[in-house]
Amino acid sequence: MPARISRCPRSIAADAVAERRDDVLVVGGGVVGLACAQALAAAGRGVRVLERDHLGGATSRGNCGTLTPSHALPLAAPGMVGKALGWMLKPDAPFLVRPRFDPALWAWLLRFAARCDARTFVAAIAPKAALLSTSQVLLADLVESRKLDCGYRRDGFVYVFRDARAFHAAVDSHVPLREHGIVVEQWDGARAEAEEPALKPGVAGALFFPGDGHLRPERYTAELARIAREDGAAIEEGVEIVALERDGEGWRAIAANGRRFHARELLLASGPWAARMVRGLGLRLPIVPGKGYSITYDRPAITPRRPLVLKEQSVCVTAWDDGFRLGSTMEFAGFDARLTRARLDALERGAATALHEPVGPVKREEWFGWRPMTWDDLPILGAVPGHRGLWLAVGHGMMGMGMSAATGRLLTDLMTGRAPVIDAAPYAITRFG
Ligand SMILES: Cc1cc2nc3c(=O)[nH]c(=O)nc-3n(C[C@H](O)[C@H](O)[C@H](O)COP(=O)(O)OP(=O)(O)OC[C@H]3O[C@@H](n4cnc5c(N)ncnc54)[C@H](O)[C@@H]3O)c2cc1C
């Protein structure tokens, strides 16, 4: 590191010498880092956020923006392995593993596959439901109390089925949600078509989750940054942290341009990149990137009233006052940065089977993002044993928007010694042994 600093321009080198000293450094300015920073700053901690690129510019940007306790069922479900094997050779399949030499990915997939049994599936619902439902309440409070302009609405979420057998199977598999206070309504095809006139005829049935909500992710992260700053947080973009090291009682984070930051405590919220970041500390995080795609349009004339998932096509449809988005797909292919045409086309094709107006009049953006996936579908939250002052808020997988508010609150509770808003044990890094 000293060699790196000596190569820096004079002003940066001077800055590096005058090392910044903060109370808490948050590395990563996605929805999770910003939610943590805001909650910590509001609790009186001195926070500095360091973001490599633009705030909310990675996975937190082009996602579907749904806030869904309804998604408390884990991804590792009975029958999932068979389905995934069947999809392996279909380039437009909704769940795809691209065969490649990647020992970490294969170890991850084996652990994931081992969880696809009924008992583990049911047991895994509670901690996911707790985080999602708590987040729903906290986020609604924040939007209301701080007047966040982010297109937030809480008018439910609909799973649409065109296949009767798939519908009845889903009715059964969603029963356990009720035990966790998540309301599930069953609509027949006629009711679904009446409730959602944007749907083409031929709906076999739908599940309606009235407690779900949605927002426009890009606007939400911008608003989180605004209130975090109002609450006293310092936020810097364009700062890539390349090394972390223990420094006396605290931590030092060293940036690619040689700048050095020191803080009493360090909170990593760097999404799918966290696993690489902590390797130098001798830590292994079971997080792999799960790539998803979206296409954003101007709003068509007829849009669904609530966000939908077209289940057989695995396409999520979200409409806001200022836009319309198709999203989804899960691809395990490492950090492959190609925008694959087959995956994007599958979104539009899937939407066309079910919606009168599957696309908007103007296409604004084709996008992909890497979800930070753990094999047990839960994020890793809390302290790192043996590394005093190091905290993690990573691995939110498919639910980072919907879990962000509770994550910020829980980390703040733990870092300030308050009673935790929910039991933190299920999310601890120690569960991986
Ligand atoms: C297609 C798709 C649809 C989705 N839909 C939904 C949905 O409807 N609802 C939902 O809840 N979730 C959804 N998700 C998941 C959600 O987007 C993620 O869980 C969430 O964005 C993760 O947030 P994060 O802050 O952990 O990661 P990120 O947003 O990726 O943020 C991590 C940040 O860390 C920064 N960083 C990394 N390395 C460094 C470094 N060395 N130095 C400094 N900064 C660094 C990155 O630049 C990045 O900005 C979807 C995801 C996809 C792909």
Residues 274-303 pLDDT 10s: 999 999 999 999 999 999 999 999 999 999
pLDDT tens sequence across 185-215 = 999 999 999 999 999 999 999 999 999 999 9
pLDDT reading at 335 higher than 50: yes
Per-residue pLDDT, 18: 61
Indicate the burial class of 45 (C-beta count within 10 angstroms; 0-12, 13-18, 19 or more).
buried
- Confirm if 34 and 61 have CB atoms less than 8 A apart: no
Q: Residue 251 maps to which CATH number?
A: 3.50.50.60
Atom of ligand 1 at shortest range from CA of 33: 25
In 3D space, the residue among 307, 305, 45 whose CA is nearest the CA of residue 198 turns out to be: 305
139 lines ligand 1 (CB under 6 A): no
Q: What is the DSSP letter of 291?
A: E
pLDDT bracket for residue 89 (50, 70, 90): low
Number of separate domains in the chain: 1
Higher-confidence residue of 409 and 100: namely: 409
Determine if ligand 1 sits within 6 Å of the CB of residue 384.
no
- Rounded mean pLDDT, 108-132: 94
Lookup: tokens for 11: 């002003």
How far is ligand 1, taken at its centre, from the CA of residue 58, in Å? 6
Average pLDDT value for residue range 256-272: 97
pLDDT of 7? 34
Q: Would 402 be classed as within a structural domain?
A: yes
Task: Report the separation in Å between the CA atom of 69 and the middle of ligand 1, taken as the mean of its atom positions.
Answer: 18
Backbone angles phi, psi at 298, to 5 degrees: -70, 160
Q: In the numeric block, which tokens belong to residue 346?
A: 């599958």
- Find out whether the beta carbon of 59 lies less than 6 Å from any atom of ligand 1: yes
Number of alpha carbons in the 13 Å side-chain half-sphere of residue 133: 20
pLDDT band, very low/low/confident/very high, at 13 (cuts 50, 70, 90): very low
Could you report the per-residue pLDDT of 19-39, keeping only the tens digit for each? 778 999 999 999 999 999 999
pLDDT category of residue 66 using cuts at 50, 70 and 90: very high
Mutate-to-test residue for ligand 1 from 134, 401, 403, 427, highest number of ligand atoms within 8 A of CB = 401
Q: Which domain holds residue 37?
A: 2-59+219-286+378-432
Reported as type and span, the H/E element at residue 82 is helix 80-87
Q: Which residues pair with 213 in a beta bridge?
A: 67
In a domain, 103, yes or no: no
Q: Give the single-character DSSP code of 17.
A: H
Note whether residue 177 is domain-resident. Answer: no
HSE-up (13 A, CA, CB side) for residue 414: 24
CA distance 112 to 223: 35
Calculate the CA 165 to chain-centre distance. Answer: 30
| φ, ψ of residue 327 in degrees (nearest 5) | -150, 170
Q: Which two tokens stand for residue 177?
A: 């949600």
Count CB atoms within 10 A of the CB of residue 227. 19
Distance of CA 110 from the midpoint of ligand 1 (Å): 24
In a domain, 51, yes or no: yes
At residue 48, the 3 state secondary structure works out as strand
**pLDDT at 10 > cutoff 50:** no
Pocket test for ligand 1, best of 59, 150, 276 (most atoms within 8 A of CB): 59
The residue ranking higher by pLDDT, 206 or 101, is: 206
Which of 3-7, 118-122, 184-188 is predicted least confidently? Answer: 3-7
| pLDDT number for residue 1 | 31
Say how far residue 185 (Cα) sits from the centre of its chain.
26
* Ligand 1 midpoint to CA 30 (Å): 6
Query: Across-strand partners of 393?
Result: 381
- 35 within domain boundaries: yes
Structure tokens at 272: 């799918």
pTM more than 0.75: yes
Residue 4 banded pLDDT, cuts 50, 70, 90: very low
Q: Is residue 242 part of a domain?
A: yes
Q: How far is CA 411 from the centre of its chain?
A: 16
Task: Name, in order, each residue with C-beta under 8 angstroms of 357's C-beta and a sequence gap of 6 or more.
Answer: 198, 300, 301, 302, 303
Instruction: Kindly report the average pLDDT of the chain as a whole number.
Output: 93
Confidence of residue 86 (pLDDT cuts 50, 70, 90): confident
Distance CA 168, CA 43 (A): 47
Q: Which of 68, 371, 381 to mutate to test the pocket of ligand 1 (most atoms within 8 A of CB)?
A: 371
Q: Which of 41, 75, 228, 72 is nearest to 135 (CA)?
A: 72
Ligand 1 midpoint to CA 401 (Å): 8
Ligand 1 atom with minimal separation from the 398 CA: 15
Whether 290 is in the pocket of ligand 1, judged by its Cβ within 6 Å, is no
